[in-house]
Amino acid sequence: MYRDPVQSLQPAQHNSIATTMAMPAATRPLRVGMIGIGTVGAGTFRVLARNQATIAGRAGRGIEVVVVAARNLARAAGVVGTGVALTNDPMQVATHPEVDVVVEAAGGTGPAREWLLAAMAAGKHVVTANKALLAVHGNELFAAARQHGVALAYEGAVAVSIPIIKALREGLTANRIEWVAGIINGTTNFILSKMRDEGLGFAEALAQAQALGYAEADPAFDIEGVDAAHKITLLAANAFGMPVRFADAQVEGITALQGLDVACAEQLGYRIKLLGVARKRPDGVELRVQPALVPATHLLAHVNGSMNGILVKGDAAGVTMYYGAGAGSEQTASAVIADLVDVARLDGTNAAQRVPHLGFHAHAVDEHLAVLPRAAVHTRHYLRVPVHAPQDIEAVGAWLAAQQVPMAQLALAADKALPPGSGAQVLVLTDAVAQATVDLAVHALASHRAVAGPVASLRVEMLEA
Amino acid sequence: MYRDPVQSLQPAQHNSIATTMAMPAATRPLRVGMIGIGTVGAGTFRVLARNQATIAGRAGRGIEVVVVAARNLARAAGVVGTGVALTNDPMQVATHPEVDVVVEAAGGTGPAREWLLAAMAAGKHVVTANKALLAVHGNELFAAARQHGVALAYEGAVAVSIPIIKALREGLTANRIEWVAGIINGTTNFILSKMRDEGLGFAEALAQAQALGYAEADPAFDIEGVDAAHKITLLAANAFGMPVRFADAQVEGITALQGLDVACAEQLGYRIKLLGVARKRPDGVELRVQPALVPATHLLAHVNGSMNGILVKGDAAGVTMYYGAGAGSEQTASAVIADLVDVARLDGTNAAQRVPHLGFHAHAVDEHLAVLPRAAVHTRHYLRVPVHAPQDIEAVGAWLAAQQVPMAQLALAADKALPPGSGAQVLVLTDAVAQATVDLAVHALASHRAVAGPVASLRVEMLEA
């Protein structure tokens, strides 16, 4: 039920619908209902209006927002003007008889799930950039979309400006995907870039990110790696033909990262990035987010500030990389509207048949593909061992060798890397080794007589490019 | 007419077709005819076979090669085995009654044009990676595809491993594209990387590229910039909604590039890359290929060896970048098969309606969008002026200022950048200036008393990232 009958009966709108109702489905405008008109919703509305002619020229038909649900109708009217019906009730949009496709731009997981289920049950296509929703409720939602033969499109859920879902789901279909890895959270990449460029600690860099609008007042989802884990979960499903397995992902953020390690990594020729990694192994799938060292010469090391960069390794294509803004109003709108254009181009085709929601048709999805436990993940590692004196490097090296930790490099942190009073630090780069072995060694090192403080341990990712 | 009746009647094949004929169109295998089974064709066949289950799981149906045209049937049989009909006659494949889609993997322009026209007239979809064909005959071929309602897909024509056509045509549809620029020829990028890394001259680097298989015996199309011009022409059409305008592109290769300029650019903080650039201006479109300086800190400067990297600037998405291998058998197969999967997913939809071949529907293509002449292109420029003595730098600077050339930097080449006996070199970086102004200044400088040899002039591209 509309709360604003005057706007909902706005004449221009109704004329336009009356005209278009008589046109064949393929040429009349696609009618959009939006739930939420905040940053993403307003950006979508603005870009749709500004690039109307270009978008229609590409889509073959117009795309028109006919109804918007918002909490604050006065503010919403300020964004969408008088040509669009407004309501306080998202369910009105979800089931609106004049709507072909519902854009969910409200966020959150509980109510959003119900809106999308209702919209799909009513035969509407749905578009969302809500990665939390899809990571948590994706299996249920995608099953509903399949059942109702509608699109559930979500390009904006991962690395908004970059059409990475399309690349995986349609562009790289020839390939068995071996791994996907990348920088998929702009907030933490901004913080890590600040820590490196300006020698800041984590707390200072976070405060700057918040002051500049790159981090939210409650930054927990970003800095604890949860947002990146939502995204790598969706990428893994599309890459490997597996269900959405967010609950099994290993998630580590950057809150415990020290500026000292950023500096020591630099000395060794590496940079620290928060990486999402999904890798197919013979015995399962790695699905994980953690701060990791990447070589300073690697392309990922040059993805700075709030930008995102994603690498995909396919058996035929080799490594391809995708780079762009990971957040922003119009950047997200770019993805949401691309999804709308895809829907506009469906032309009556069963959406789930054309491109399966997670890249693979249901019969080809491996329901039993296991996520490997943390202890089983093999990578190279970086260790920083505080010691009492520089000559303790020998004892540390000998002890790690005895613990079967394969060492590629053993060095002392240079003075210039160290804040005053840090004491001597032994730096270790290992060869590939199971996390379990590293965990044991780090635990045991803590009680070694040469060791003067907590040992830092980070993965080193040697990705092809 | 088949030249090998035994193979064309191979039982397994015919059983399989008989079985599938009774199935509905959406679930029976997509039947492919291939023209050419060289590097691209064999790679496509190999990847289709190896990743059969994965590809069918994504496409929703199998993809089967049923007939192949080749010059050497014995060699072709060695590639495709006994399950595929063989013929010497490409037209047999183009019009074969059991073929849904024709893959043109033979190359060349004249006969390939006729095969594709015949295939489309017979209602077949067509897939090709033949950029020369599309750059030269594209307007005719795309019109035919529209007329017959079939797909003419060409992801493999540009930066093979990277789904850049899909990104432009489907991923960035919300955007008005402002420019596309990138490294889109692997051979020349390999040569330029060698010149920089090993201080080689062009001829030596080319010889190494040929010895390692990165350059063909006749490398003219690559090193003269023609191949890159074919590709930027196709990208421009998809970006801006214009016809294919290869004849109007400005094309400059790297054959005249000196190692001295690679070294001097390095001294100034730049690297030289062969760039394809398409940029929308108020008065037309820039469409051009030339060696240009890019800042050493820019992502494009880190696209090395034979890799490709393409930047796209959209008004909503901002800058996105796409990186990957630009050549190779299976890398090209990755693109060709992605096109086949798109066709397999069409499910009876009119292909031209779903995604227009050049990104825009015919009514939205601007037939009159003019390509700007070379003289009108504004960029920054690099000049290297050989002089008799270092103090001549003052005369050169004063003279350029008098010629209205806006200067951002004036320097002497450091000795270490110069091969023995080079003499003093004045290096100039200008602000943005019309090519016409630079051309006049370079021409006039040749007769200046301080100038000791030919002046080198290159564009400097300051691209966002």
Q: Do B59 and B84 belong to one domain?
A: yes
Predicted confidence at residue B390, as pLDDT, reads 95
Query: Is the residue at B388 inside a domain?
Result: yes
Residue type, B347: D
Q: Do B149 and B190 belong to one domain?
A: no
Residue B416 binned pLDDT confidence (cut-offs 50, 70, 90): confident
Q: Do B284 and B344 belong to one domain?
A: no
Summarize the confidence of residues B240-259 as an average pLDDT. Answer: 97
Predicted confidence at residue A348, as pLDDT, reads 67
Q: Which residues of A touch B325 (CB under 8 A)?
A: 317-320
Angle between helical axes of A110-121 and A131-148 (0-180°, round to 10): 20
Predicted confidence at residue B123, as pLDDT, reads 96
Q: Do A279 and A217 belong to one domain?
A: yes
Summarize the confidence of residues A37-55 as an average pLDDT. Answer: 97
Chain B nearest CA to A361, separation (Å): 6
Query: Is the residue at A420 inside a domain?
Result: yes
Query: Is the residue at B121 inside a domain?
Result: yes
Q: Which residues of A touch B463 (CB under 8 A)?
A: none
Residue A26 binned pLDDT confidence (cut-offs 50, 70, 90): low
Summarize the confidence of residues A389-409 as an average pLDDT. Answer: 95
Q: Do A91 and A128 belong to one domain?
A: yes
pLDDT tens, position by position, A88-139: 999 999 999 999 999 999 999 999 999 999 999 999 999 999 999 999 999 9
Predicted confidence at residue A351, as pLDDT, reads 74
Residue B29 has pLDDT above 50, yes or no: yes
Which residues of A are tagged catalytic? 231
The rounded distance, in Å, linking the Cα atoms of A104 and A336 is: 10
Q: Does A161 touch chain B (CB under 8 A)?
A: yes
Q: Do A17 and A153 belong to one domain?
A: yes
Residue A14 has pLDDT above 80, yes or no: no
Please count the structural domains in chain B.
Answer: 3
Residue B431 binned pLDDT confidence (cut-offs 50, 70, 90): very high
Q: Do B318 and B407 belong to one domain?
A: no
Query: Is the residue at B344 inside a domain?
Result: yes
CATH code of the domain in which B237 resides:
3.30.360.10
CATH code of the domain in which A345 resides:
3.40.50.720
A window 17-56, beta carbon within 8 A of B: 26, 43, 47-48, 50-51, 53-56
Query: Is the residue at A64 inside a domain?
Result: yes
Chain B nearest CA to A125, separation (Å): 17
pLDDT tens, position by position, B204-220: 999 999 999 888 888 99
Q: Do B171 and A161 touch (CB under 8 A)?
A: no
Query: Is the residue at B404 inside a domain?
Result: yes
Please state, for a pLDDT cut of 90, what percent of chain B lies above it. Answer: 88
A190 membership: H or E segment, kind and range: helix A186-198
Chain A nearest CA to B123, separation (Å): 20
Residue A8 has pLDDT above 80, yes or no: no
Q: Output the CA torsion sign for A214, A219, A225, A228.
A: negative
Question: Residue A222's domain spans which residues?
Answer: 164-326
Residue B2 has pLDDT above 90, yes or no: no
Q: Does B333 touch chain A (CB under 8 A)?
A: yes
B window 308-327, beta carbon within 8 A of A: 314-325
Predicted confidence at residue B26, as pLDDT, reads 56
Residue B444 has pLDDT above 80, yes or no: yes
The rounded distance, in Å, linking the Cα atoms of A139 and A116 is: 13
A293 membership: H or E segment, kind and range: strand A284-295
- pLDDT greater at residue B7 or residue A182: A182
Q: Do B241 and B340 belong to one domain?
A: no
Chain A nearest CA to B159, separation (Å): 10
Half-sphere exposure of A209 (CA within 13 A, CB side): 28
CA angle A291, A292, A295 (to 5 degrees): 145
Query: Is the residue at A369 inside a domain?
Result: no
Q: Do A361 and B47 touch (CB under 8 A)?
A: no
Q: What is the pTM of this model?
A: 0.93
B231 as an active site residue: the answer is yes
Residue B9 has pLDDT above 60, yes or no: no
Q: Which residues of B touch A316 (CB under 8 A)?
A: 43, 47, 51, 330-331, 333-334, 337
Residue B420 binned pLDDT confidence (cut-offs 50, 70, 90): confident
Q: Do B144 and B183 belong to one domain?
A: no
Predicted confidence at residue B348, as pLDDT, reads 67
Whether the Cβ atoms of residue B68 and residue B84 lie closer than 8 Å to each other:
yes
CATH code of the domain in which B406 resides:
3.30.70.260
Q: Do A324 and B323 touch (CB under 8 A)?
A: no
Q: Do B420 and B304 belong to one domain?
A: no
Q: Does B362 touch chain A (CB under 8 A)?
A: no
Summarize the confidence of residues B186-211 as an average pLDDT. Answer: 96
Summarize the confidence of residues B139-150 as an average pLDDT. Answer: 96
Query: Is the residue at B130 inside a domain?
Result: yes
**Residue of B27, B28, B172, B311 to mutate, testing the A interface (most A Cβ within 10 Å of its Cβ):** B172
Q: Do B111 and B143 belong to one domain?
A: yes
Residue A21 has pLDDT above 80, yes or no: no
Q: Do A174 and B299 touch (CB under 8 A)?
A: no
Q: Do A275 and A254 belong to one domain?
A: yes
HEC string of chain B equals: CCCCHHHHCCHHHHHHHHHHHCCCCCCCCEEEEEECCCHHHHHHHHHHHHCHHHHHHHHCCCEEEEEEECCCHHHHHHHHCCCCEEECCHHHHHCCCCCCEEEECCCCCHHHHHHHHHHHHCCCEEEECCHHHHHHHHHHHHHHHHHHCCCEECHHHCCCCCCHHHHHHHHCCCCCEEEEEEECCHHHHHHHHHHHHHCCCHHHHHHHHHHCCCCCCCCHHHHCCHHHHHHHHHHHHHHHCCCCCHHHCEECCCCCCCHHHHHHHHHHCEEEEEEEEEEEECCEEEEEEEEEEEECCCHHHHCCCCEEEEEEEECCCEEEEEEEECCCHHHHHHHHHHHHHHHHCCCCCCHHHHCCCCCCCHHHCCCCCCECCHHHCEEEEEEEEEECCHHHHHHHHHHHHHCCCCEEEEEECCHHHCCCCCCCEEEEEECCEEHHHHHHHHHHHCCCCCECCCCEEEEECCCCC
Q: Which residues of A touch B52 (CB under 8 A)?
A: none
Whether the Cβ atoms of residue A128 and residue A154 lie closer than 8 Å to each other:
yes
Q: Do A170 and B342 touch (CB under 8 A)?
A: yes
Average pLDDT, chain A: 92
Predicted confidence at residue B366, as pLDDT, reads 95
Q: Do A337 and B173 touch (CB under 8 A)?
A: yes
The rounded distance, in Å, linking the Cα atoms of B126 and B274 is: 31
Size of interface A-B (CB pairs under 8 A): 235
Chain B nearest CA to A339, separation (Å): 8
Q: Does B211 touch chain A (CB under 8 A)?
A: no
Residue B23 has pLDDT above 70, yes or no: no
Q: Does B174 touch chain A (CB under 8 A)?
A: yes
